[in-house]
Amino acid sequence: DTAVSQTPKYLVTQMGNDKSIKCEQNLGHDTMYWYKQDSKKFLKIMFSYNNKELIINETVPNRFSPKSPDKAHLNLHINSLELGDSAVYFCASSRVTSYEQYFGPGTRLTVT
C-alpha cells in the first residue's frame, strides 16, 4: 500500500524533449509538493498545491509547470529539457500545510 507514488522511477531523455512525472498519494492529504534534489543531495522546494490551489511557486524556470487535477494527484511537466535539469525529483504530501511531510520514492531524471 504505497502512500506516495511517483512514475516513472527513472527517466532518460535527450535535450530539448518534453517530459512529465506523475505523483499520487492515497493518504487523504490536502497538500502536495515537488522538490528537486541535486547531485550534492541538496533539496529545494519547487511547487506546492493545497486543495488544488498553487501556494508555492519558487524561482523555477517557466519550462516547469505543475498541474493538480485533484487533491490526490500532482504532476510535473517539463518542456525543452536541459542538461541542468538532471536531478532527482521528489513528490511529497502533508495532511495540511506546515505539517509533517511524506515523500515519494523519487524520479531520477537524466538529460543527455
Partner 1 sequence: GIQVEQSPPDLILQEGANSTLRCNFSDSVNNLQWFHQNPWGQLINLFYIPSGTKQNGRLSATTVATERYSLLYISSSQTTDSGVYFCAVERNDYKLSFGAGTTVTVRA
Task: Return the range that interacts with partner 1 (CB under 8 A); candidates 12-20, 44-52, 63-71, 73-81.
Answer: 44-52
Q: How near is the Cβ of 16 to partner 1 at its closest, in Å?
A: 27
| Residue 17 engages partner 1 in binding (rule: CB under 8 A) | no
CA distance 92 to 31: 8
| Residue 93 engages partner 1 in binding (rule: CB under 8 A) | no
Can you say whether residue 16 is alpha, beta or left, with left for phi > 0 and alpha for psi between -120 and 50 degrees? left
Q: How near is the Cβ of 70 to partner 1 at its closest, in Å?
A: 20
Distinct helix (H) and strand (E) counts, the chain: 0, 11
Binding mask 53-92 for partner 1 (x = CB under 8 A): --xx-x-----------------------------x-x-x
Q: How near is the Cβ of 18 to partner 1 at its closest, in Å?
A: 25
- Locate 38 and state its grid cell: 541535486
Distance of CA 82 to the CA centre of its chain: 17
Specify the 3-state DSSP secondary structure of 83. helix
